[in-house]
Amino acid sequence: MSSAAPRHDGPEDGTDRQLAQPGSVRHSLIELAVPAVLAEVLFALVGGWPGAGAGAVLLGATGLLVARRVAGAGAETFSLRSRPRQMAVYEPGLGDWRWTVRQGLDPRGDVAPLRSRLQRLYAVRLAEVHGLNLSADRDRAAELLGPRLWPWIDPSAPAPAEVLPAEVLRRLVDRLDSL
């Protein structure tokens, strides 16, 4: 039996040269660099040295704005993004609870953020303490919460039409604490 060494087709210096995979940062930079160089050449041809300088400043500023947007996409607290998109990438902290509770109790507010956060808290508590999955073990979870609180936590049912009463919120928090 002969043991063949693995074949290595890369360069001799030990670094692997691969084509940039679509969707990778390297691929994106290559795709953006080509039009940027062509635009800079066009600025230089049309405007001479002043045009080339203005083009470099314009392309640099645009590049910094795009880089900031891409690098900080998950961490921005303020942006021009629509609210649902922003909530999908931004995980609220404890400081947002005041706003969430105020909106959930306000007749003109939105109860959905408060309801989803309560559902996550109940899912974690039921999993840790009782070994239940809130979505899979709905009957047992409904039994633990009781018929008056379950409609507010039931993940497969739509939110109740009325505003979350403060008393129900107190009962939900107390029940969460007692689980």
Q: How many residues does the chain have?
A: 179
| pTM listed for this prediction | 0.46
Provide the pLDDT for residue 81. Answer: 47
* Residue whose structure tokens are 């940039």: 20
Q: Are 173 and 121 in contact (CB under 8 A)?
A: no
Query: 147-172 pLDDT, tens per residue?
Result: 888 888 888 888 777 777 888 888 88
Q: Are 134 and 122 in contact (CB under 8 A)?
A: yes
Q: Are 131 and 160 in contact (CB under 8 A)?
A: no
Query: 37-61 pLDDT, tens per residue?
Result: 898 999 899 989 998 899 999 988 9
In percent, how much of the chain has pLDDT > 70?
Answer: 73
Provide the pLDDT for residue 82. Answer: 47
Domain residue ranges in the chain: 22-90, 92-178
The answer, yes or no, to whether residue 19 has pLDDT greater than 80, is: no
Residue 96 structure tokens: 């947002």
Query: 110-119 pLDDT, tens per residue?
Result: 777 778 888 8
